[in-house]
């Protein structure tokens, strides 16, 4: 089949929605010969910070000479971002080839009334491709939750991490941090090795400790008290951690915690026999990259693009703005209707002198008018517009070279805005 046909078939599975449980995924893996058994994995779950740690660890492994897969969710600009080996996306031809193998297996399961969802199919493509290409190890970002997530079909990984946990996807995971933590603890396998993000709520730590004890898993919580920060700014942070001088291009104090988790995961991998030098570690940290995660696109005017979409992400962005961006700030915002826009705007709205709202091109998105009504409760001016290009033109008319433009609220918005911003700020 062609690439376009492959994408259309993948999209067709969206009709079946999200279905918690691993029975279907196990059946699909059996049809494909168990590709999840042929690769080592690093498995990362949590509400916030997953993407940063996935980027850091996969970059370090690549720099260390290992053929490294990376499976992320969601993508920002191109669907193929979800499948990467050594920093390169799967080609259109390879994705079509994967579907030539996997789609008949999906149809065989359909005939048995085992209906594979879109996310299960995407995860299967990643696992099968990593095995086919002979990856030494792959870094998997959990899609949602943990226990019932399709990525949890893998056996005990070389290392796992539970990142910062807060309220998100409450309709699926529960409406307390305890319920969410219990669901995410499902990735903890018997006799596994688990790193827990520091500075969790006490209830979260208690649950993760209990699950690790029950399953005989080793738990590590990084101690960041000895970390020394040398310089920090919108272009990243230089610091010493564990006696190693490091630079992360990701901004914000929370990224120190993320780096601590990544460093602890690297230590676990070393103990499993992976040869990772301090030089490889430092180079991997420095070269790590994620589009639309507090991405600096311009310095004059300062322009940040952030796809974070929950209150935890909003708090992290506010921390960055308070610490590094004293200038007057104008925002372009768009959010999904199923996200807590009021909570996000209560956190971020007071940071902006003006919010320009737009509806991202997605059926789940909130209208620009409804988002503007909410934004007006928390900032001096909120203006709805009809398109991302109109929003950007309006924002740039209102922002001087000495001020800041912040685009935030959704990865769907980020995916639409990023090409337009790169047109305006090509030098960066």
What are the beta bridge partners of residue 409? Answer: none
pLDDT given at position 172: 45
pLDDT given at position 36: 98
What are the beta bridge partners of residue 248? Answer: 237
Taking only the tens of pLDDT, the chain with its 428 residues reads 999 999 999 999 886 666 778 999 999 999 999 999 999 999 999 988 899 999 999 999 999 999 999 999 878 788 999 999 999 999 999 999 999 999 999 999 999 999 999 999 999 999 999 999 999 999 999 987 788 899 999 999 999 999 988 755 444 454 578 888 889 999 999 999 999 999 888 889 999 999 999 999 999 999 988 889 888 888 889 999 988 999 999 887 788 999 999 999 999 999 999 999 999 999 999 999 988 888 999 999 999 999 877 777 898 899 889 989 999 999 999 999 988 899 999 999 999 999 999 999 888 899 999 999 999 999 999 999 999 999 999 999 999 999 999 999 998 899 999 999 999 998 65
In 10-98, DSSP assigns E strands to 40-45, 68-71, 83-85, 88-89
pLDDT given at position 400: 94
DSSP 220-275: E----TT-EEEEEETTEEEEEETTEEEEESS-STHHHHHHHHHHHHHHHHHHTT--
pLDDT given at position 142: 94
pLDDT given at position 167: 53
What are the beta bridge partners of residue 331? Answer: 355, 406
Query: Going by DSSP bridges, is the β-strand pair 159-162/40-45 parallel, antiparallel, or unpaired?
Result: parallel
Spatial contact of 349 and 408, defined as CB atoms under 8 Å apart:
no
Spatial contact of 345 and 377, defined as CB atoms under 8 Å apart:
yes
pLDDT given at position 312: 77
pLDDT given at position 75: 82
**Model pTM score:** 0.86
- Give me the sheet containing 329-333, strands edge to edge: 295-299, 302-306, 404-408, 329-333, 354-357, 382-384
pLDDT given at position 362: 86
Q: Which residues contact 320 (CB under 8 A, 6 or more apart)?
A: 234, 251, 252, 294, 304
Residue 426: DSSP 8-state: T
Measured distance CA(262)–CA(119) in Å, rounded: 26
């Amino acid at each position: 089949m062609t690439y376009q046909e492959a994408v259309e078939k993948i999209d067709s599975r969206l009709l079946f929605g999200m279905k918690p449980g691993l029975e279907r995924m196990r059946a699909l893996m059996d049809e494909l010969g168990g590709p999840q058994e042929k690769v080592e994995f690093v498995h990362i779950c949590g509400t916030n910070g997953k993407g940063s740690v996935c980027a850091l660890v996969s970059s370090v492994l690549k720099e260390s000479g290992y053929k490294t897969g990376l499976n992320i969710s969601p993508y920002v600009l191109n669907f193929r971002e979800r499948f990467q080996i050594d920093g390169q996306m799967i080609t259109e031809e390879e994705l079509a080839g994967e579907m030539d193998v996997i789609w008949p297996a999906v149809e065989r399961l359909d005939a048995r009334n085992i209906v594979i969802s879109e996310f299960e199919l995407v995860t299967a493509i990643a696992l099968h491709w990593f095995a086919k290409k002979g990856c030494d190890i792959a870094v998997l970002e959990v899609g949602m939750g943990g226990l019932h997530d399709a990525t949890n079909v893998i056996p005990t990984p070389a290392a796992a991490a539970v990142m910062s946990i807060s309220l998100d996807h409450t309709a699926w995971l529960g409406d307390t941090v305890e319920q969410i933590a219990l669901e995410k603890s499902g990735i903890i396998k018997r006799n596994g090795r688990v790193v827990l993000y520091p500075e969790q709520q006490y209830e979260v730590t208690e649950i993760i400790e209990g699950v690790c004890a029950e399953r005989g898993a080793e738990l590590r919580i990084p101690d960041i008290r000895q970390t020394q920060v040398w310089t920090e700014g919108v272009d990243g942070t230089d610091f010493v951690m564990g006696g190693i001088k490091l630079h992360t291009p990701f901004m914000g104090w929370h990224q120190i915690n993320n780096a601590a988790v990544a460093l602890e995961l690297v230590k676990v991998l070393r103990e499993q026999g992976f040869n990772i030098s301090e030089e490889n570690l430092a180079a991997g940290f420095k070269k790590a990259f994620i589009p639309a995660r507090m991405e600096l696109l311009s310095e004059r005017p300062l322009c940040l693009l952030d796809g974070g979409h929950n209150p935890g992400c909003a708090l992290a962005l506010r921390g960055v703005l308070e610490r590094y961006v004293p200038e007057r700030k104008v925002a372009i915002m768009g959010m999904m209707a199923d996200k807590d826009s009021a909570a996000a705007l209560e956190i971020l709205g007071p940071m902006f002198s003006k919010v320009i709202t737009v509806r991202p091109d997605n059926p789940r998105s909130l209208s620009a008018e409804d988002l503007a009504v909410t934004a007006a409760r928390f900032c001096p001016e909120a203006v709805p517009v009809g398109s991302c290009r109109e929003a950007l033109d309006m924002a740039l008319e209102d922002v001087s070279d000495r001020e800041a433009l912040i685009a935030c609220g959704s990865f769907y918005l980020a995916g639409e805005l990023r090409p337009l911003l790169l047109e305006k700020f090509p030098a960066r």
